[in-house]
Amino acid sequence: MQPTQNTPIAENIAADAKIAEMILPYTEGMSMAMDEVIGFCPAFLEKKKPNSALGSMMCDAVLLAAQESIPIQTENSPKLNFSILNYGGIRSTLDSGDITVGEVFQIMPFENEIVILKMDNRYLDTLAKFTNLKGGEPMSLINMSEFYKAKKGKSSYFYLITNDYMANGGDNYGFLLNSVERISTGIKIRDAMITYIEQNNPIPLDYNLRGF
């Protein structure tokens, strides 16, 4: 067996002209797609704790996409209550002015998808304590405290919308693995954001605190 050889990579290695010519149409097409303007942002947005206008917008987009993923609304359809995302999942800021597809990819570069979890009410208290311990997380519902008071102590369920990373126990959300039911929508977080931005132009900004 011949020993393997490593090929060093250095900045001074010239690019292969044939390969560069072959991929040029794809790189140009990708650049055009990323530069596409899909909406307008009235102000500069960045992630903050306990939550921010940027995080709230993302959660509103996720909640709306999850609601629309249920094709036929019946009495037995899940009553989707609120969405929550992880602070660390927001990877960039959003400048004021035109919003491009590329900016959405910068904010959410991961392939995370939207998941609907049916949780026993007893985990509402766990969720409240854990998110408060973290200093807050992005959420979709303004009157979360009222929802919490109405649900706390009652023997029933609530529907939580989140990303598959958290639903799989990521970021120490291991208790979400105890869901009674899990519905995978197949919708990427950034696709939900793109749709939301396109449908809400300019995007609404909510600076109100959201939390338990």
- Residue 75 is classified by DSSP as T
Q: Which fold has domain 39-199?
A: 5'-nucleotidase;  domain 2 (3.90.780)
Place of tokens 């939390």: 211
* Dihedral angle computed from the Cα positions of residues 69, 71, 77 and 83, in that order, rounded to the nearest 10 degrees: 10
Q: What is the pTM of this model?
A: 0.83
Report the chain's C-alpha Rg in angstroms. 21
Main-chain dihedrals φ then ψ at residue 160, nearest 5 degrees: -110, 135
Give per-residue burial for 98-119: e unless 16+ CB within 10 Å, then b.
Answer: ebbbebbbebbeeebbbbbbeb
Q: Write out the two tokens for 211.
A: 């939390």
Q: pLDDT for 12-53, tens place per residue?
A: 555 556 555 554 444 455 667 899 999 999 999 999 999 999
Q: pLDDT tens digit string along 81-105?
A: 899 999 999 999 999 999 999 999 9
DSSP β-ladder status, 37-41 and 97-100: antiparallel
Where exactly are the structural domains of the chain?
A: 39-199
